[in-house]
């Protein structure tokens, strides 16, 4: 196996950092599943879903607000990706068509992700 050029890649994550990132991903996925099911997002429910106690979650998120911020950020990124993809399928010179494509993509995402949409745009927590 050859040497890895860390000047290009930057410092490689340690095993512990990779495990922590994986656990945070699982926490986010569990919170997302709770949203899809219309369940309340709380530390106990998320902990149960990932197989740990609610206090153990505090090693990975700073609390309920941090969990909601993490989830909201992930949902916004997904929505922005959808809007960008729709925009980029239309001729860049036709700004009206691009705007319409993005509006359709927004509506389609909202209809396909009703619970997530509600969390982002109807919740006073976000």
**pLDDT tens figures, 10-39:** 677 889 999 999 999 999 999 999 999 999
Q: Is 113 helix (H, G, I), strand (E, B) or coil?
A: coil
Global pTM reads 0.80
- pLDDT of res. 69: 92
Alpha helices in the chain (DSSP H): 6-9, 15-36, 43-50, 54-57, 64-88, 95-112, 114-121
**pLDDT tens digits for 87-125?**
999 999 999 999 999 999 999 999 999 999 999 998 565
What is the rounded average pLDDT of the residues 2-6?
A: 51
Structural contact between residues 25 and 33, judged by C-beta atoms closer than 8 angstroms: no
> What domains appear along the chain, each with residue ranges and CATH number?
12-121 (1.10.357.10)
């Amino acid at each position: 196996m050859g040497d890895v050029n860390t000047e290009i890649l930057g410092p490689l994550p340690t095993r512990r950092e990779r495990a922590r990132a994986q656990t945070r991903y699982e926490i986010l996925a569990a919170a997302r599943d709770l949203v899809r099911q219309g369940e309340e997002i709380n530390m106990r429910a998320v902990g149960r879903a990932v197989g740990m106690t609610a206090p153990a979650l505090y090693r990975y998120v700073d609390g309920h607000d941090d969990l909601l911020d993490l989830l909201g950020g992930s949902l916004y990124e997904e929505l922005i990706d959808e809007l960008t993809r729709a925009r980029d399928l239309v001729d860049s010179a036709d700004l009206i068509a691009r705007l319409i494509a993005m509006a359709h993509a927004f509506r389609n995402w909202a209809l396909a992700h009703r619970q997530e949409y509600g969390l982002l745009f109807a919740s006073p927590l976000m």
